[in-house]
Amino acid sequence: MNRRVQEHYKRRATAQKSRGSYSIELLAEGVYRVVKTDGTAYTVNLQAKTCTCPDFRHRLARSGEYQGVWCKHLHLCAASFLR
């Protein structure tokens, strides 16, 4: 886990949430739909720690430096729903 990268995404998610760029809908237990103001929507699974966005699928899900690093959508949902 790259802590510095993780913190970067967490700050980005927090900043965008405070600007109201996203809305989050509950789909199922631990599964959320994150909708951007432009209509782009991704599904976040907080239990599996996965997201359907290209950022997560193409880069963050790979092994190496970014393995295990959450995308901003995961951070958004975790910040909003994990206690």
Question: Which element (helix H / strand E) includes 83?
Answer: none
Please report how close the Cβ of residue 70 comes to Zn ion at its closest, in angstroms: 8
- Does the protein bind Zn ion through residue 10 (CB under 5 A)? no
Distance in angstroms (rounded) separating the CA atoms of residues 80 and 51:
15
Among 13, 53, 60, 76, binds Zn ion (CB under 5 A): 53
**Environment class of 4 (CB within 10 Å of its CB; exposed 0-12, middle 13-18, buried 19+):** exposed
Please report how close the Cβ of residue 38 comes to Zn ion at its closest, in angstroms: 15
- Does the protein bind Zn ion through residue 66 (CB under 5 A)? no
Distance in angstroms (rounded) separating the CA atoms of residues 64 and 42:
24
- Footprint (CB under 5 A) of Zn ion, residues 16-45: none
Please report how close the Cβ of residue 24 comes to Zn ion at its closest, in angstroms: 12
